[in-house]
Amino acid sequence: MALRDVSLTIPNGMYGLLGPNGAGKSTLMRILATLQEPDKGSIHLGYIDVLNQQEEVRRTLGYLPQEFGLYPNARAEDLLDYLAVLKGITHRASRREAVETLLKQTNLWDKRRQKLGGFSGGMKQRFGVAVALLGNPRLMIVDEPTAGLDPAERVRFLNLLSELGENSVVILSTHIVEDVSELCTRMAIINRGQILLEAEPLKAVEQLRGKIWRRVVEKSALVKLEREHAVISTRLLSGRTVVHIFCEGDPGNGFEAVAPDLEDAYFATMAGHYGNRKPEVAL
């Protein structure tokens, strides 16, 4: 996916990059991780010029891609130790300490002698975080980290990311609104390679107060409602359809006002009824 005029300032803490599959999130993540070069533009990580000082970026970067390979017959402790050497941690005692600290931090210490092929999806994701944290990175990039996790693993994983965000920049790329709502102090919504909204999640929701309306209808009535109102989302409930619309004032027609949430902000932005397309300063 080509990116168009993407311009962001990302502060310390958890930053959410929210958008549907194919929106350009992974492309942006790969560019930030120095795995892909843009045709034009600039990127700075503090005083580091990301495009011209790639080795310096990689020394301070932790990257957890959406899909990553593991050696199924390798034990967690052994593989992390080997990867620590590749990261430049060559002193044996320092490496042993780093490996132990990271496996404990990711709650994998008790599984350190287990082969990675026997890990659950959530355990593999946490091991990926341990790998990404080698060398104490200033910037962590995690791409679709909770996809495929069961609810319990998802909660454990999000708690871990939240802890990491206390000491570094963590960019969370996802299409799951709840991940951003629960974790991030700032976010951007991207679609078709363009930033549609850049805001604090709580403020984005607050600015929609009094503008989101709800009605439960039969499915057959949906087409008529879509012609008459700015429908932003629909969902099935006990065989009927719950419709949310965006409207500055009372739309009448049986709609009731509802307290907005981040999902409403996301769908209103995607539908073109809400957002700020004006770029900010460069990352």
pLDDT in tens, 161-186: 888 777 789 999 988 898 898 889 99
Q: Is the pLDDT assigned to residue 280 strictly greater than 50?
A: no
Condensed to tens digits (0 to 9), the pLDDT of residues 4-45 reads: 888 899 988 899 999 998 899 989 989 999 999 998 899 999
Q: Is the pLDDT assigned to residue 239 strictly greater than 90?
A: no
Q: Residue 112 phi/psi, 5° resolution? A: -65, -30
Residue type, 219: K
* Whole-angstrom distance, CA of residue 4 vs CA of residue 24: 10
Largest interatomic CA distance in the chain: 71
pLDDT of residue 283: 37
The CB-side HSE value for 11 (13 A sphere, CA atoms) comes to 9
Q: What is the pTM of this model?
A: 0.85
Task: Evaluate whether 32 touches 42 at the Cβ level (below 8 Å).
Answer: no
Q: Is the pLDDT assigned to residue 208 strictly greater than 80?
A: yes
Task: Evaluate whether 154 touches 122 at the Cβ level (below 8 Å).
Answer: yes
CA distances from 261 to 32, 208, 268 (A): 30, 9, 11
Confidence band (pLDDT; 50, 70, 90) for 70?
A: confident
* Whole-angstrom distance, CA of residue 212 vs CA of residue 228: 15
Architecture of domain 23-164+176-183: 3-Layer(aba) Sandwich (3.40)
* For residues 70-90, average pLDDT: 92
What's the whole-number average pLDDT of the chain?
A: 89
Angle, helices 76-86 vs 121-132, to 10°: value is 30
User: What are the tokens at 19?
Assistant: 């958008």
The tokens 């307290």 sit on which residue?
A: 259
Work out whether the CA dihedral 99, 100, 101, 105 comes out positive or negative.
positive
* Whole-angstrom distance, CA of residue 89 vs CA of residue 82: 10
* Whole-angstrom distance, CA of residue 54 vs CA of residue 35: 9
Q: Is the pLDDT assigned to residue 138 strictly greater than 90?
A: no
* Whole-angstrom distance, CA of residue 51 vs CA of residue 72: 34
* Whole-angstrom distance, CA of residue 269 vs CA of residue 246: 10
pLDDT of residue 275: 67
pLDDT of residue 48: 92
Burial 200-215 (b: 16+ CB within 10 A, else e): ebeebbeebeebbbbb
pLDDT of residue 202: 93
